[in-house]
Amino acid sequence: MPEIEKVRAEYEPKGLGFLALSLDSNSARVKDRAVELGLNMKVATVEWVQPNDFHVVPSTLFVDAAGNVVDTAEGPRDRAYFEAKAKELLKGSAGMQVARP
């Protein structure tokens, strides 16, 4: 999470939006964890997500301005990955695929 937070700080002002999703429905616990992780992005709880919807935690969904999931990544990623993806998304060239470690 710290890696994506660094990218968020750089690319959010350029037009990318960032939202962290927690599978924990306890919003107080989620807020505390976000502070622990140093997250400054919005964090939402998603009670409607079934545990089997995700094969790996963390998973990253890349969503366009219309709300379409345009790409996903399973597992932890480094800053270089998120920066490359941010640049790709700003260009509008993301393709639908699942990236696995």
Q: What is the CATH number of the domain that holds 95?
A: 3.40.30.10
The pLDDT of residue 51 is 57
Domain count along the chain: 1
Domain residues for the domain of 15 are 2-99
Upper half-sphere CA count for residue 64 (Cβ side, 13 Å): 14
Q: What is the pLDDT of residue 80?
A: 94
Q: Determine the length of the chain.
A: 101
What predicted TM-score, i.e. pTM, was given to this entire model?
0.70
Contact by Cβ (8 Å): 75, 101: yes
Q: Which residues pair with 98 in a beta bridge?
A: 72
Mean pLDDT of the chain: 79
Give the model's pLDDT for residue 15. Answer: 82
- For strands 98-99 and 19-22, give the pairing: unpaired
